[in-house]
Each structure stands twice: as structure tokens, then as C-alpha cells.
Amino acid sequence: MSAATASRVLVAREVPGELGAHGGVSAAAASRVLVTGGTGAIGGAVVERLCRGGAEVVFTGRNRRRGAALAQRTGAGFVPSDLCEPGAPEAIVEGALGVLGGLDGLVLAAGVLHRAPLSETSDADWDTLLETNVVAPFLLARACLDALADGGGAVVALASGTAEWPEAELGAYSVSKRALLWLTRMLAVEGAVRGVRANAVSPGHTADGMGSSSVLGGGPIDDLARLVPLPPSGRYSTPEDVAGAVAYLLSDAAAGSTGATLAVDGGMLAALRAVRVRQ
């Protein structure tokens, strides 16, 4: 690793050696996991969940305050980094391998959302969405593949319901999430012969996180039910619901699943299909 790259990979807190058992994927969850977007709502819930299950976790994010607090709370290692900086994804993987000594799981939770139809999407916003939501996951997954193949590891990507039903006001975001879904399926196909699984989780609207903050625009959370229809389950999914699905797909319990998409949307996709059938 070059000096310039190394200076960006600052593990705020070393992962204690006694956390989690090395050597393959445990029944509870993959034991050594790199999580991107750990400073966000869903990524943070994933880090908490995996650490509670005994995994050793290294996570990334840009917000140093939130990252340091989560590292302190969970014992996970924090790599403050902007995934769109040249060389950053590869440096993150190198840093994580250095701390964890190997890798059993990769969770691609970092992402950005831009609320605009395609006709109102600037070149810069398009680039940011594609670089963050598609290019960085590709670079991270490619850099992890050999390490994951060593122990039969797993990749879980956070896609979105918009990968299934594109939303007009989320034009570039919908395109990027469909591309991420396809990236995941191609990883599943290529990884299968090396014992690596790759699956996607598609959250519906969570009460915390980017979906809500983008529609509320700083307004009160009480406005959410007026702005976003509740799914058939009668409640928005929580980041913890999504983290449970991620932990499952990383675990041996999902050994037979690769190239799959698990919706955590309270039945929203099923309901949309039902409406289409009625029409």
C-alpha cells in the first residue's frame, strides 16, 4: 500500500482478537465481515447486528463522528473513507484484510440517493450516483473475491425496490440500483465456481435512512405517513429488519441461496403486482 493510500485507511479502533471465531462462515453469520456505509442507518444496524452475533467487523463511512461512536459502541474497526476517491475501494479491502486476517463477508450498504427525474439530473449527480452505487461496489467486490473464495464467503448488496419498479422521481437512483442488482447476479454466477455466494436485499421504505430523509427534507417524521404510503404490513421496515435479512444471507442458513433478492418491504412489491393484476 502506498503511503498516500495508507494515510486514508485509519482504523480507529483495532478489532479485539477474542471477538468471533476465525475460519469460515459460522451458523450465526460470516465471522469476518467488511461493511460499507456503516455510518448510515442500515449499514449501522448491520454492524451492530453482526457484532452482537460474534462477528469481527470492519466498516467504512465518511462521517468520522458517527463512525467513531459506532466503533466505540460495538468494537468494530472503522475505516473513514470516501469510496469515490481513486484507489479507495482497493485500499479499504487491503486495510480490512490487514486487520481481520481474511474475509468471510462483504456487505455493500453505502449508497446515495438523488431525488430527481432523469430529465432534471445533472452530469455531476449522474456520475456521483453511478460511482457510489455501482462502480465502488464493483471495485470492492473485485478486490475481495480472492479472499472470499478462500473460505467460501458471501457478498450481500443493498439494492432497492426501485430496482424492480423504477420510480420516475428517482430516475438515476433507479437505474443505479438495477445495475447493482445485475452486478450482484453476475458476481453470483462467477463466484459460484469458487464457493462465493452473492445475494441482494431490497429494502422498501425504512422510517430511518435515506428514503425518509429525502422525502421529509428536514421536516418532522410525523409527516412521513402522509408522504409515503404504508406497505401492506402496516408499518415501514426498520434498519434492524434489513440487518436481519443481511445476517441471514451471510450465514450458513442461506448456503443454498446465491443470485437471489430478498425483499424487506412489508409486502410492497407483492401489493404493486397485485394492483397490476387487478388492472
> Does 209 help bind ligand NAP (rule: CB under 6 A)?
yes
CA distance 50 to 45: 9
Nearer to ligand NAP, 162 or 258 (CB): 162
User: How many residues make contact with ligand NAP (CB under 6 A)?
Assistant: 27
Nearer to ligand NAP, 206 or 261 (CB): 206
Q: Looking at 41, 91, 246, 250, which residue binds ligand NAP (CB under 6 A)?
A: 41
**What minimum distance in Å lies between the beta carbon of 184 and ligand NAP?**
12
Q: Helices 239-250 & 41-52, crossing angle to 10 degrees?
A: 50
> Does 210 help bind ligand NAP (rule: CB under 6 A)?
yes
Nearer to ligand NAP, 64 or 194 (CB): 64
Residues 248 to 277: which contact ligand NAP by CB under 6 A? none
Catalytic residue among 59, 78, 173, 236: 173
Interface stretch with ligand NAP, choices 15-23, 82-90, 147-155, 164-172 (CB under 6 A): 82-90
**Cβ proximity of 102 and 34 under 8 Å:** no
Report DSSP state, residue 220: -
40 SS3 class? coil
Report in angstroms the alpha-carbon separations of 85 from 68, 88, 90, 92: 21, 5, 10, 11
Nearer to ligand NAP, 105 or 203 (CB): 203
Annotated catalytic, 236?
no
**Cβ proximity of 181 and 200 under 8 Å:** yes
CA distance 41 to 82: 17
> Does 206 help bind ligand NAP (rule: CB under 6 A)?
yes
CA distance 274 to 156: 28
**What minimum distance in Å lies between the beta carbon of 245 and ligand NAP?**
11
> Does 211 help bind ligand NAP (rule: CB under 6 A)?
yes
> Does 37 help bind ligand NAP (rule: CB under 6 A)?
yes
Nearby residues of 270 by Cβ (< 8 Å), 6 or more positions away: 232
Nearer to ligand NAP, 151 or 173 (CB): 173
Measured from the Cβ of residue 234, the count of other Cβ atoms closer than 10 Å reads 8
Nearby residues of 223 by Cβ (< 8 Å), 6 or more positions away: 216
What residue ranges bind ligand NAP (CB under 6 A)? 37, 39-43, 60-63, 82-84, 109-113, 132, 158, 160, 203, 205-206, 209-211
